Structure 1
Amino acid sequence: MMNYNAALESALAQFGAASLEQIRKYSGYPVADNRIEVDFLGYKSEVEHPSGRFSPEPTPEGDLPVFARILILHYLSRSGPVQEQGRLISYKEIPGGSIYIQPFSNRAIRPLVQAFGERPQALSEVGLRLGGRVAAHGDAAVTIPVFPHIPVTLVIWGGDDEFPPNGNILFDASAARILPAEDYAVMAGFVAATLQKMSKGG
């Protein structure tokens, strides 16, 4: 398993340097005193500023793994307003995304297709349980608000006699102004894994 200690330390430092007013203004999450109330794919927690301490404290192998906490800290640390553009782009259109396209496909697209390629409508059903909305793409698609300002659209095309099932994960065109490409690869993989787990009754 990858060692995320250095990445977590960096994310904590970045979060600690961000002002609480900045987080309140740009994150889209409620802030009470010095605690940010975070809902991330159904996992509700509070993040204390400036320590970056999560409450309840996640267990090492729990539902909020360390890389998910790093994603949350990166998102909360961002500065400046970002307006959703309503135009979808693929991962390789995010600056730097083309370098990571193979890991992105292995980590996110392949599990998505394995879970829903033979039953596309199940993607919509599970996605709605995460607060998503049905989207008009492929044979089934759902747009999930992973963060308040980062919607992620997952698309499935069912297979037929000529072609195997296929899928894609798309982002709003504003994505590149919020997080780096590596974060979107991690995010998409976690979304796909969460949906896969939910589809199995987890």
Structure 2
Amino acid sequence: DRSDIAPTIYFILHRYSVSQEEKETGHLITFKQIYGGDLYYKTYENNVLKLLEREFSDDIDVLIETAKILGGTEVRVEDYDIAIKIYILPLIPVYLVIDLGDEEFPPLINLFYDSSIRSFFTAEETSHLSELLTIRLIELSRELKKQI
């Protein structure tokens, strides 16, 4: 039972439902390029990026498999070894990007957004939405690991 996240889901869906619809642009942006991104970045970094790296940096294959189970498809994003596009809402793609690192640097996991997200959400909603995606990826990956 995840009733603890119900208010967040309601908040996001309400904003989504009253937003001006915009088609994907194909232009990727970072969290900081969303309105309010600088203000919310520390929270976003702790609740999304660091959590993804802590959970998956030693198990990138599980992250990829989990993202694909959630409907993700592999795409090409310049400067990254792996990129998976996941629609977290019908008009909202998120790009999970991975730099596999090397013997000197650990893997780097990041999220990019289609610039159209700015028509739907500010950084606050985007942070919550990304956190929900992170929670789902982690929960599903743990379920998968139990089955192995």
Q: Using structure 2 for the length normalisation, give the TM-score.
A: 0.86
Q: Identify unmatched segments of 5+ residues in structure 1.
A: 1-57
What is the alpha-carbon distance in structure 2 between the residues aligned to residue 93 and residue 144 of structure 1? 19
**Bigger-Rg structure (1/2):** 1
What is the alpha-carbon distance in structure 2 between the residues aligned to residue 117 and residue 142 of structure 1? 16
What is the alpha-carbon distance in structure 2 between the residues aligned to residue 130 and residue 152 of structure 1? 12
RMSD: 1.8
Counterpart in the other structure of 2:75: 135
Counterpart in the other structure of 2:119: 177
Contact persistence 1:146–1:152 (CA under 8 A): yes
- The number of residues matched between the two structures is 142
Name segments (4+ residues, structure 1) moved above 6 Å.
none
Q: Identify unmatched segments of 5+ residues in structure 2.
A: none
Cα offsets for 1:35-54 (capped at 9, x unmatched):
xxxxxxxxxxxxxxxxxxxx
The alignment status of 1:106 with 2:49, answered yes or no, reads no
- Percentage identity across paired residues of the two chains: 29
Match of 1:187 among 125, 129, 133: 129
Bigger share in helix: 2
Match of 2:25 among 71, 85, 88: 85
Match of 2:63 among 115, 120, 123: 123
Counterpart in the other structure of 1:70: 11
Match of 2:103 among 150, 161, 173: 161
Q: Give the direction of change, closer, same or farther, for the CA distance of 1:119–1:140 in structure 2 (3 Å limit).
A: farther
Residue 152 of structure 1 deviates from its aligned partner by 0.6
What is the alpha-carbon distance in structure 2 between the residues aligned to residue 107 and residue 59 of structure 1? 17
Secondary structure of the residue aligned to 1:162 is coil
The alignment status of 1:147 with 2:89, answered yes or no, reads yes
Q: Using structure 1 for the length normalisation, give the TM-score.
A: 0.64
Contact persistence 2:75–2:83 (CA under 8 A): yes
Residue 160 of structure 1 deviates from its aligned partner by 2.8
